[in-house]
Homo-oligomer: A and B are copies of this chain.
Amino acid sequence: MANYSIGVDLGGTNLRIAAVGEQGNLLEKITLGTQVALGRDHVIKDMCDAIQRLAAKYRASDSLMGIGIGVPGIIDMKTGMVRESPNLPDWADYPARDEIEKRLGALVILENDANSAAFGEQWLGAAREFDDMAMLTLGTGVGGGLVLNGRIWHGMTGMAGEFGHTTVEPDGAQCGCGNRGCLEAYASATAVVRMARETIAGGAAPGLARAATGNAEFSAKAVYNLAIQGDEEARKIFRRVGRALGIVLADMVNALNLPIYVIGGGVVSAWDAFSPAMFMELRERSMVYAATDPEPGSGNGGAAGRVQPGGQTKTIVTRALLGSDAGLFGAARLPMVGQ
């Protein structure tokens, strides 16, 4: 019998569940809507039902190692409880892991969704073959995850990897976390839209103003579309995204000297618009990056200069490869390595 585990990506919109073999081979993937509005118990029942259907199907041929669940929030790894989750408010102070374990009769591990995504990219994505890596996920917020020696680095209370709240501008934009000028306030999809609206309010941004007018769904993607059409104000916004990312990556490279940093999430589709400014800042601000630059003197960088792992001495900064599946695969990986 082959070993497999089940990974769950518990998003605010979709509940995705996958059975994954020990070699990273996908057995089957299910996507359900997350009925968050119907409450915690409803979501858990939907999830457990789907997991049980999957498990029943593979019981005869494969051996289930356990279930990993990526949750958008801060997890207390010891108690298996969700400490804080804006998207899942009624999960706080509820023994989620133990309850799910009881229902399924199998090992269950809860993990922060950004940590799961990092673990997925480390296992099967852009950082496969590397034991040490960090990931930034540029979505509604900016998530972060850190993998050291092939394990997620949790820190003392499971709250490590919050690179999205690194201070970029000490007196900058207010962030939801209480700080000012966090990376998240400059490099998330939410921040792109906020900066676009600020630019529109300042006048002299006709392209952005036209795109936003009467568009209730005005999005980071709309700003990117303008940028690739050459709209200078839209391009400036992505240069600010790149500058903020470059500052934080420089801090990370100086502090950790990892071989690879992976950037994922929806905003990464604007790579061409933000990455030149990002690599420029990184080169100027990190002496450690400058000493390990895969393309010294280049205006570009990173992926193109990729070198083989094992004895490598170049710092790679590159796009994620697994898209929204990173968290799903990372969650499935959790029971395979334990906590």
Contact = CB atoms under 8 A, between A and B. Distances in A.
A13 interface: no
A285 B167 contact: yes
Interface in A213-256: 243, 247, 250-252, 254-256
A177 B287 contact: yes
Instruction: State the copy count for this chain.
Output: 2
Contacts of A308: none
A336 interface: no
Contacts of A177: 287
Given A179-B284, A179-B286, A257 B160 contact: yes
A146 interface: yes
B179 A287 contact: yes
B178 A255 contact: no
A180 to B, nearest CB: 8
A318 interface: no
Tell which of A146, A256, A284 has the most Cβ of chain B within 10 Å: A256
A337 interface: no
Contacts of A284: 178-179
A251 B165 CA distance: 7
Given A170-B247, A250-B167, A160 B287 contact: no
B287 A161 contact: no
B154 A257 contact: yes
A166 B257 contact: no
B287 A166 contact: no
9 contacts: A153-B256, A156-B258, A159-B292, A160-B256, A163-B255, A167-B250, A170-B243, A179-B285, A252-B255
